[in-house]
Amino acid sequence: MSDGRIVENEVLKPTEKITTPEQNKDHKSLSILNQIRLGLRNTFNLIPKFILLMIVFLFMTVSTLGMYSSFRKQQYDSQNNGYNYLFRDASDARLIIKKQDNSPITDDDFTAIKALGNIDHIVNNDVLIDTDFMLTDNETTSFNGSCHSIDLLNANIVLGSKPANDNEVLINCAKDDYLYKHPEEALNKELKLFNNNGLAQDNISYKIVGIANTYQRTGNQSQYEFYFTPTVLSSLQKYVCISTSKIETYFQSTYFTSNPYSAMFVTTNGNVPVGQAYLSEAYSYLCKDGKCGGIGLNISSTSQYYTTNISLSVGKTYNEKNITSLLGLSKEETNQGYLYVNPADYNNLFTDASYQASVYVKNVKTYKDTMSQLTDLGYKVLHVKDTLINYSDFNIFGTMFTTTLVFLVIAALFFISYFIIRLIFRSRNVYFATIRMLGATKNNAKSLLYLELFTDLNISYLLTLVLVYLIKNDYVLASWKANIAYLQGIDYLILYLLLFVMCLMIGKRYARQLFKASAISVYKERD
């Protein structure tokens, strides 16, 4: 002995070993209660060690959370990538509904839908969402976009204000768009609105009174969003309905399909009395003695949801000599053979009733529950994302690459965390050697090690859940919110199990290094 330490251990004289029954018995293991008590005490007895371990576990937990949430977002995006020529707005929040019996959706129906818990907003007569329009002066300025009600605008107005009158429009653009950087170049310009069938509204110009910047274009969506007053939007909806309906005229046992390039195209003129139609003399051959006045005709309009009919009689026939006096048109228009009716009669071919609508959900993760609720209310429901053409080969490759990358990063996190924890625990080697010398088994010592590690893990995981709550409520790290939004309850369980396995492997690896040497060797190593 020297200074309280054993410097040499030599047997000078052999002695006979005397045993007692008590000495022959195995050492009693520590009770579970004592192991828990010692494990918790070991966790908190040295504050610097505890803080260092918490930093390591928080690093491991938060990093794993970040990688896993990114993986889940990439997985979700790969499942929902694709293209559809029918739907301009392929938002994953969009559900298209119609009644199972194809009857109109009433105001009471919309009230019942809005009462469902996951509804963000509803777009009645949603045909405008998927119709491409163009605001242009046919010279220097042109914008391609979709039309929306100003009541649904939820955006930051960069310049100007919301439309207050029916001849005003607000344009919503992306933050990387030229219009966002130079809004003054478009403000107060007066443009006309066109779609694929030509001028959307006769000789009406719209003044740009505001520019917003929250539009996020995806897929085959239009480049901009146009916001009008509800009155203008209702008019545009009817116009699109007209352009997508099949209009036929039945006259003298003959059907004539109406389109701008065919005979007997049905159009409006205010000079025509209600209940009458003005017919071109080109069709006089269908009438007895060439006289068509007073002969009845029927005009029908068929959409995918309904068919309407109006019955009129031929009031007068026109030719190039009397077209100006009758209709106020030029002689050049007599060769078209159009059938002119009063606007009021023409509007009766189309209904303002809503047969189809788009329901936008708040939480896309629970859209299936919302679909079930809508089905129970008597609707046929289509999730627009389910209609996309998916390029599966590329998605599979991307998923495999991302999965491999995630595992590599997690493996790197494991080894980094292990080596740091190993360094921190070196000061605890003597402690574990001491309790072994005092009679504790290796299993007892391992249990104490695991208890300390898992206590730190659970605390760090709870702190991470608090961090998730703060992110979701925009208190911190707002950039992470987009990824965390894709995590569900099962994902947090998977994340915990993943961290549990990592912690278990760290404990096993460290215990194997710690207990391969004898307790006395540990003392000598310290010395």
Distance CA 523, CA 325 (A): 117
Beta bridge partners of 279: 317
Residues 223, 229, 230, CA angle at the centre, nearest 5°? 105
Helices within 320-391 (DSSP H only): 323-327, 343-347, 367-376
pLDDT for residue 516: 67
pLDDT for residue 22: 40
Distance CA 365, CA 487 (A): 9
pLDDT for residue 276: 96
Q: 82-125+354-389 — its CATH code?
A: 3.30.70.330
3-state helix, strand, coil in the chain (%, to 5): 45, 20, 30
State pTM to two decimals: 0.59
pLDDT for residue 520: 60
Helices within 81-155 (DSSP H only): 107-114
Low-confidence ranges of the chain (pLDDT < 50): 1-4, 18-27, 392-394
pLDDT for residue 18: 46
- Number of CB atoms found within 10 A of residue 270's CB: 11
SS3 448: helix
**pLDDT digits over 78-95, tens only?**
655 556 667 878 788 899
pLDDT for residue 245: 85
pLDDT for residue 380: 94
CB 191 within 8 A of CB 141: yes
**pLDDT digits over 105-145, tens only?**
999 999 999 999 899 999 887 888 888 888 888 777 889 88
Distance CA 493, CA 503 (A): 15
- Measured in degrees and rounded to the nearest 5, phi and psi for residue 500 equal -60, -45
pLDDT for residue 3: 47
Domain ranges across the chain: 21-75+393-526, 82-125+354-389, 127-242, 247-347
Integer angstrom CA distances of residue 520 from 164, 466, 510:
87, 44, 18
pLDDT for residue 231: 87
Find the radius of gyration of the CA atoms of the chain: 39
CB 206 within 8 A of CB 191: yes
Helices within 157-281 (DSSP H only): 178-181, 230-244
- Measured in degrees and rounded to the nearest 5, phi and psi for residue 117 equal -70, -25
Structure tokens at 485: 């939004």
pLDDT for residue 19: 46
Q: Angle at which helices 442-472 and 32-44 pack, to 10 degrees?
A: 60
